[in-house]
Chains A and B, each alone.
Chain A
Amino acid sequence: MTKSNFQLELRTSPHVKRGVSVERIMLHVVLALLPVAAFSVFQYGLSALALLLTTTATCLLAERGINRMAGRESTLGDWSAAITGLLLGLTLPPSFPLWMAAVAGLAAIGLGKALFGGIGFNVFNPALVGRAFVQAAFPVAITTWVPAFSAERFMGFIPTTFTAPLMTPPDITAWAKQAVDGFTGATPLARWKFETYFTPAQDFISGAATASAGESTAVLILLGGLYLAARRFLDWRIPVAVLGSAALVAWAFQLYDPARYPEPLFVILSGGLMLGAVFMATDMATSPVTPKGVWIYGALIGVVTVMIRYFGGLTEGVMYAILIGNACVPLIDQYTQPRVFGAQRGKA
């Protein structure tokens, strides 16, 4: 059998008219992510650049090494490992030590992807599996934040970046305080949870809010998402369902107690919700294939995120919400199969 370029899209009508290869979609996802990555480097300087390069390189090397060990063809050409690496880097704090970032990259490809059989077979988003692994392994380093736009960010690195492998990163509280005046060391979500302080929305647009490397650039993430949705490389329903359900739940809570609960805009702009909704929940291998299922899946992620943020021990819940959503995908797909035209209910 000759290898055909035509891909079967697992969706009900309307069907795509032109064959779109996995490589092409993935390449465009990389392109859509590049502005986010570039802005992240602009915000945090050389350390963010080193972080993104490390995660991407580790993911590519791990993919290559595992393919070689398993005696399979190289799959670097499909760009998916590069996306995993780039996304992983964007979800980590800019000060994250590079050796830990490499561990995260190995876990992402090894645990999150290769164990399940490679691209298309993974149950969970590989980048989030990698992040969940280091969140459990290094809970302190992954909640150590640094300010954006420090004056000397292109002159040198954050002191924690080049921590020797296996060693504890140095304490950078003092460094962060002198780098930018008035830096509190807490994310807007943490400040809301523990101090009931509402960070203004413009901080999320300008990138001034304390966050992971690629989380505080809402406009660029949205633009990337719009581009991909317009080219039909991602399902626009998923981000709409995630952000919409989160905003709806947040709005209901705010009606109930405006002094305690933030406004919906804060909820969808803060933390990693925007990045997760646009680039991670939409991963084709780990999201449902039925139109109804997509709405259920997105709403589940949005609601679980807000529930973890409001009532959980952690300040941020997007990562676990998407992983929970991924785990529910087979179930959602099974219960939302569209009825074949003319078939009767109950008679499969």
Chain B
Amino acid sequence: MADMPIAAPGPQTSSAAMIRTLGLVATVCGILLVLTYQGTLEAITANKRIALERAVFKVLPGAAGMREFYASPAGVVPAAGPVPEGAVKFYATYDKAGALTGVAAEAAAVGYADFVRILYAYDPARQVITGIGVVSHRETPGIGDKILTDKAFLANFAALDVRLAEDMKGLAHAVKTVKHGSKQSPWEIDAISGATVTSKAVGRGINDSAQRLLPLLVPNLDKLRSP
């Protein structure tokens, strides 16, 4: 059809015929789409839920249940309702008896290639970060992806100090990634030798997220305990 000479066009197609055809195609496709959407919605939601729970439970082991919240200047509300202005999403986990076991939130910063997205666990009682898990990254295999496996690096997050300052407006000490082998304070992260850029991205992401979330969250911890 494409090879036909343009000089000899067939009879002009009427606009009505074009609209009819396009309308028919759009209707057929629309029905197909709606059917697929409805058919797969449940499975997709369940999949996302399972993936999220798995990620959260990995950084907060021992939890039995989990709920999503928004923290905003207006207070802490469950994530089911409308999103308040300036809200930060986080997850609270509970044990079998329903007691609060920890809080997890997402952090992201640009690494060597694209964003490094991680999930960190926060212990409200001790005001420390107790673990991290990587959600997604595109760092160089063999170098940047050591943030997933390097034991010495992960040990930084056994009890990373994120205490709030006196005025409750920010962290007492900003979380900072320092050169390999020079960690001195509990709020510093010892970088992986040879993967400094990625290590710094993790530190920066945690600092940005904690500086925003914790001042909103800490005064409202009671709301998590008595849902």
Contacts and interface: CB of A to CB of B under 8 A. Distances in A.
Contact of A313 (B142, B179, B197): B197
Interface in B167-198: 179, 194, 197
Contact of A140 (B112, B142, B197): B142
B140 interface: yes
B152 interface: no
B181 to A, nearest CB: 11
Interface string B24-52: 00000000000000000000000000000
A22 B140 CA distance: 42
Contacts of A140: 142-143
State the main secondary structure of chain B at its contact with A. loop
Contacts of B143: 139-140
A194 interface: yes
Contacts of B142: 139-140
Across the A-B interface, give the 5 residue pairs with the lowest CB-CB distance, nearest first: A139-B143, A139-B142, A140-B142, A313-B197, A194-B179
Interface string A307-340: 0000001000000000000000000000000000
A313 B179 CA distance: 15
Contacts of B179: 194
Interface in B57-109: none
A139 B197 CA distance: 16
Interface residues of A, number: 5
Given A139-B140, A140-B142, A313-B197, 6 more contacts: A139-B142, A139-B143, A140-B143, A143-B194, A194-B179, A313-B112
9 contacts: A139-B140, A139-B142, A139-B143, A140-B142, A140-B143, A143-B194, A194-B179, A313-B112, A313-B197
Nearest to B197: A313
A130 to B, nearest CB: 20
Contacts of A143: 194
Nearest to B141: A139
Nearest to A136: B140
B190 to A, nearest CB: 14
Contacts of B197: 313
Nearest to B193: A194
Contacts of B194: 143
Nearest to B140: A139
Interface in A143-159: 143
Interface in A139-177: 139-140, 143
Contacts of A139: 140, 142-143
A143 B140 CA distance: 15
Contacts of A194: 179
A241 B194 CA distance: 33
Interface string A179-212: 0000000000000001000000000000000000
A326 to B, nearest CB: 25
B115 to A, nearest CB: 18
Contacts of A313: 112, 197
A23 B179 CA distance: 52
A226 to B, nearest CB: 38
Nearest to B143: A139
Nearest to A186: B193
A169 to B, nearest CB: 13
Interface in B153-176: none
A143 B194 CA distance: 10
Nearest to A138: B142
B196 to A, nearest CB: 9
Nearest to A313: B197
A261 B108 CA distance: 34
A139 B112 CA distance: 15
A139 B141 CA distance: 10
A140 B141 CA distance: 11
